Structure 1
Amino acid sequence: MKLYKSFIALALAGLSLSAQAHKPWLLPSSTIVEGKEAWVTVDAAISEGLFDIDHQPLKLDGIVITGPDGGKLAMENVGNGKLRNTFDVKLPKPGTYRIALVSQSVMGSYKDKAGEMKRFRGTEESLAKDVPADATDVKLTRTQGRLETFVSTGTPDMAVFKPTGVGLELVPVTHPNDMRAGEKATWRFLLDGKPAANQGFSLIPGGVRYRGTLGEIRKNTDANGEATFELPAAGMYLVSSAWPAAAPQVPGQPPQMAPRRVTYAATVEILPQ
């Protein structure tokens, strides 16, 4: 299962927003690219410190790059490292590009013929192989995750934000490549194409190791799935959200997983005034 580690890391990213949690991320060299020959380099990793290269690379299988005209672009100059992977993207047309890793996975437990508890993690396609036909007390959690970032050249546009209607999605009112510190921004979250009412999300700035504190900003959407807030200091940030909200852990018991878990994370840049 090539995407197994990416699936699990993406699923776990929504379970904890602590400074110690390992987070997957895509970090573009810039979110606004100028010049006749527009290129961007993207780092992809899973790390303990946000945007720090301190753990392992994020597998690039399944990365989809969508241009402003809806066309798909290929990664170029792919580099596979011990702690991070990198790739370049050529931006041939003006507008906004989406770079995304969308994943689905299944995890759970069952009792075999002998009554012994077994655990498994896999994909929807591997479910029949992972769980024997004679298994009992089967418990499943299906996880859908979206990890993405956005890059614009020329005038940013909204074409790539057309919702798919699957999972948790950010459909911004304020373009994420047109945000400046101290200004107001409005974001809209959708869950399966419908407004994600009272949906919690976090905005975490990079550079935690230099601050000594996480610096997390937490917000909630309104009944229309929207939130308007003042943008913090300039820098690269990770937007993170998960549905449903994680249940409190019972001491001495493993974390309880809902039958369905949906996560969203995106790297965005706030520019100076």
Structure 2
Amino acid sequence: MPTADAATRQAFAALEARSGARVGVVALDTGDGHAIGYHADERFAFASTNKVFIAAAVLDAATGSDLDEVVHYDRGDLLSYAPVTRPAVDTGLTVRQLVDAAVRSSDNTAANLLVERLGGVEAVSRWLRSTGDDVTDVSRTEPDLNTAVPGDRRDTTTPAQSATDLRAVLLGDVLDADDRALLLGSMRGTTTGDGTIRAGVDPAWTVADKTGTASYGVRNDVAVVTPPGRDPIVLVVMTSHPAPDAEPSDALVAEATRTAVERLGATTGG
């Protein structure tokens, strides 16, 4: 379980005091196994970070021909945030394209179509349980899962569990090599994370991430970051505020990332 020494706790507590936010962090160096955590076992709304695991569940169940199957949908299926699915409503998209849209562009319609393909949120939960995750709660689809009311267990996880799941999916053997490469490729090309974890690490590092945003100022990012010549680091940053209309902050996630990397000792020369 990730722990934090006094200096690490003090650094993150100071960040919370400056921002008025609650911050949860896990950073794990897969090379030496060293990990740090702050509020690592507290529940946070996962928001769109869970699209990684929806996509992973679909990939795990699919054959190559399944991924090339075209999924048709109509305008009634389109949610307000549908940057990829909306332009393709007349032609449909392949399962492979839906996976990429949900992860790379955080397309909400794509995510819901993938959940439907799996058999609903209960199927996503069953898949997570099959990987050993008995913590994450998956109760709703987009956009309802983004209410993020404090104390509501629905659609929440912990930074520690998210980090465990991310490592298993992206660096472990939960997915086969082709599926893992597809998912990593989409995450490396994400269009929503320039100001979050990517902004908090050295530009020379490779970042594969998935962000999430919800009410109560929720702004999250989960990632595998790889310094040149080093083993990957699994990094999870989750943030929330007490007010329902609080603005989510990319800068807060970036600062928490910098603090985590510094406290982990993961510098480019380290």
Q: TM-score range by the shorter chain?
A: under 0.3
Q: Which has the higher strand share?
A: 1
Query: Using CA pairs below 8 Å that are at least 6 residues apart, which structure has the higher relative contact order?
Result: 2
